Chains A and B, each alone.
Chain A
Amino acid sequence: MLVIETVDLRKKYRQVEAIKGVSLKVDKGQIYGLLGQNGAGKSTMVKILLGIVNKTSGDAMLFGMQTGDTATRRQVGYLPEDHRFPEYHTAYSLLDFYGMLYGMSRTDRVRRIPEVLDMVGIKGRMKDKIRTYSKGMKQRVGIAQALFHDPDVIILDEPTDGVDPIGRREIRAIMQRLKEEGKTIFLNSHLLGEVELICDHVAILQRGEVIREGAISALTQQKGMYQIGLASAELLPESELRQRGYDVHFDGVYWDVGLKDGQTIDPVVDLLRERNLRIRHLIEKRQTLEDLFMATVEAAEPGVDKPRERRDIPQERRARR
């Protein structure tokens, strides 16, 4: 069942096209990561899904309904980036306030508030004013308010921003638990290591366009690259393997063996056995999400991290600068 779906979604702010025909599909129970550099359009995407920002064209649907519908928002929990809770609230009163806006009964609110604050680890300070909280604690309150009304889909924009490593692990655990409960999580994050650890699917957004999308396992797989380790003092017959057409490279500990089209790793293993070499390590090599991200972004637009050139300034003026 599709929880989130966008079809050729576009958003234009005057002259700037922030989203350029994005099509995404998020299934129920998935943890879906949206990656991208600053200004790639991630937050705009999320705001369109919540009806905070209007789309220019295309479709954006939540549970099969066009976004912006108030009844649909009841099923969504949202943690914005750079959120700013009213500091006159305590964590308790804030959740009580939001719970009332969601139409939750008093009994449910009284039961659920300590429960969810305990889950994010700030139950002990729930009666303190938010202004006395650290950044990490405010982030935990943010996650608590996103989960408070037991939504089916949770949209988190940089959920671990400002949270210490232990806190991050706890938040990852919470997300994992929510996934097990069948919740769908849509995650915007810069922390690629974390995304890799918890997400099933990712999409990489570059200047408003999806340049790569798919299951993490599939995206990070490096087809045709194996890593081999042998027992101490034994050496891989590199020259023989090269003669047979394999790419071989020694990194000081392991040998990376690259396959060409039609080749398999089995003849390599057979050769090592024939030579009575003892294989201690053999894995199909994968790339990290960070590698993938960097490679994808660089391939899509080389030098993208460099400041954009002002297209409206004539060449000679740019040169003078």
Chain B
Amino acid sequence: MTRFLAILKDSMRETIDGKVFLAMIVLSSLAILLAASLSFTPKPADTGLSAMTDEFEKIPLASFDRSYAIQYEISDFKQLNDARKPWNGEYSFRLTARDAKKFPFKLLVMFTGMRGSRRNPEQSHQDREEIIKIVTEAQGKPQEEQEKYIEEKLLQKMQRVKAEQLEEYIFDQYTDRGNLEVTSVKSAPTPADEKGLYAFDIKAKGKANTYNRWPHDVGIFFGAWDLYTEPVGVAVFDIEKWAVGYVGGAIFLLISSVMTAFFIPNMLRKGTVDLLLSKPIHRWSLLLLKYFGGLLFMFLNTVVLIGGFWLVMGLRSGIWGWTFLLMIPILTFQFAIYYAVSTLAGVLSRNTIVAILAACFTWAFLFVLGWMFTLSKPVPGRESSKFHKTVKVIHKITPRIGDLDSLSTYVIRADLLQEDNFQKEQSRKAVEDISWPESISVSLIFIALLLGAACAWFSTREY
């Protein structure tokens, strides 16, 4: 333990002495300060409930443009209790939904219902079967008639959508996407000459975790610049995803690789290595301690960066996504892979630049490999190409950086997004589809092989 502490202290001194550590601290502090300058201002109750409709399902497919988007409006707003915070309030209001220019509200409700209805699953199933039948029938017709046939049939079917289905849709939207406890949704009359307009009288109140979905105005530099309006949980997720998950994480790993790359070559300089090798410590032990010293150093840096970011974001937004802290071991593990490469390159070449380049090359190689592996995957039912088979073999025996990226995305999303959030479901599925024992074992074996080779070389080499 004393020797480990000795190497660790020595590495710490070395890093502090090289100005990279200072640069790292300054960069981390800047990122944390920038996060601290973010402001999250909750929308007042009426505009908040209105902004909440931005999260509703408005268009049938994500690729459709705004001309397919349903328009919502809130009126007759009343607060029924004296709660100070809008997400704790109890409200009654009227919500009107207007057909989009190119898409009727009822058809959207029908499509949404097809995915499953809480109250009437049989109806949902029946709708789905009927629509599949319409599409199948259309396929038997000439090409130019297909679209028209589907449109006519769907519009006919749409007429059968009842008021209760529309109410259920609105109920579900406020419950799932607004995270409100909806106590009543009733259809209200609309002017007879206004076609495609639907009105609902709604009573709803806040729940324990309504805050997470409450729309906030997000600003930076203590509100000097307004950025956008979003549910606070989504806003925090977006910021953490970009600042730590994607760009920040990559920059952090790159700087850490540079910062630690000179540890080994410096230790092996002529005149320095003789002094160390004359000490009563095995060479492999010296090298491994140096490796773990670098790793621990990186871990501590990650604790500061991630912990600081999490603390500041929590204090500023009131959202405490605990799973975000899992980014600490994930980033450290990812770094352990690159640092093992850097260590082996450092021992073989005794050159810092070579060690940095080797780590960067490995990062790029694993990234491109994961990307090629995903892109070359065959469509289900088709046979794999030779290229995919080759990529698959290489992918199987090298660390799965992509798996760690998927895990990063999921842990950032896990506590911030609603259970039914599509992105969250996607990332959870991606994480569940990964064989973690295999993924982690491959990475650990990779690290062990590289460190073993480095130790073997270092132990037999004459200095």
Contacts and interface: CB of A to CB of B under 8 A. Distances in A.
A250 interface: no
A313 interface: no
Interface in A86-113: 86-89, 93, 97-98, 100-103
B118 interface: no
B6 A84 contact: no
A51 interface: yes
Contact of A73 (B6, B18, B280, B460): B280
Given A83-B271, A84-B272, A73 B278 contact: yes
Contact of A52 (B266, B277, B281): B277
B10 A78 contact: no
A84 B269 contact: yes
A202 interface: no
B282 interface: yes
Interface string B273-294: 0111111111000000000000
Contact of B274 (A52, A88, A93): A52
A53 interface: yes
B255 to A, nearest CB: 19
A87 B3 CA distance: 20
Interface residues of A, number: 30
Contacts of B280: 70-74, 101-103
Interface in B140-173: none
B274 to A, nearest CB: 4
Contacts of A102: 279-280
B275 A97 contact: no
Nearest to B269: A84
Contact of B10 (A50, A74, A86, A87): A86
Contact of A70 (B9, B282, B460): B282
Contacts of A70: 280-282
Interface string B444-463: 00000000000000001011
Contact of B13 (A85, A88, A145): A88
Contacts of B3: 100-101, 103
Contacts of A47: 274, 462
Contacts of A296: none
Contact of A78 (B266, B278, B462, B463): B278
A222 B270 CA distance: 42
A103 B277 contact: no
Interface residues of B, number: 28
Interface of B (DSSP majority class)? helix
A168 to B, nearest CB: 21
A100 B6 contact: yes
Given A54-B462, A88-B17, A145 B275 contact: yes
Nearest to A79: B275
A83 B275 contact: yes
A54 B459 CA distance: 11
A76 interface: yes
B6 A52 contact: no
A103 B285 CA distance: 14
B5 interface: yes
Nearest to B276: A101
B278 A88 contact: no
A164 B13 CA distance: 31
B2 interface: yes
Contacts of A53: 462-463
Nearest to B277: A52
B217 interface: no
A163 to B, nearest CB: 17
B347 to A, nearest CB: 16
A80 interface: yes
A120 to B, nearest CB: 16
Interface in B6-35: 6, 9-10, 13-14, 16-18
Given A97-B10, A100-B3, A84 B271 contact: yes
B271 A88 contact: no
Contact of B278 (A52, A82, A87): A52
16 contacts: A52-B277, A53-B463, A54-B460, A70-B280, A78-B275, A82-B271, A86-B13, A86-B14, A86-B272, A88-B14, A88-B16, A97-B10, A98-B275, A98-B279, A101-B276, A102-B280
A-B pairs, 10 with minimum CB distance: A84-B271, A88-B17, A100-B6, A74-B280, A78-B278, A80-B274, A73-B280, A101-B279, A53-B462, A70-B280
Interface of A: 47, 50-54, 70-74, 76, 78, 80, 82-89, 93, 97-98, 100-103, 145
